[in-house]
Structure 1
Amino acid sequence: MLSNSEIFQIAMEQSAYDLNCNSTDFLSIKNKVVISEHSPHARKYLILPFYCNLVSYGSNIVASVDKEIEDIVKEYINTHPIEHCFETPNLHILNDELQKKDMRVCFMAEYFLPDVNNLRELPCEYELRVLKKPDFATLYTGEWTNALCETRKELDVLAVAAYDGDKIIGLAGCSADCDTMWQIGIDVLPEYRRKGIASALTSRLALEILHLGKVPFYCAAWSNIKSVRNAIRSGFRPAWIEMTAKSMAYINKMNQTKKE
Structure 2
Amino acid sequence: MKPTSYGNFSADGKEYILTNPLLARPWMNVLSNGRWCYVASHLGGGYSFLENPTVGRITRWHIDGVPRDTVGKFLYLRDEETGEWWSANGYPPTIRLDSWKCHIGLGYNRIVAENKGIESDMTYFCPMPDYYGKGDAAYGDPCMIWKIKLSNKSTKERTISTTSYIELALGNWHEDTSWREFYHLFNRQEFKDNVLYTRSTLWVKYIGGWQAQNSDGNNIEYENAVFMTSSEPVTGYEGDRYEFVG
Shorter-chain TM-score category? under 0.3
What TM-score do the two structures reach when normalised by structure 1? Answer: 0.24
**Greater RCO structure (CA 8 Å; 6+ sep):** 1
Q: Which structure is higher in helix share?
A: 1
Q: Which structure is higher in strand share?
A: 2
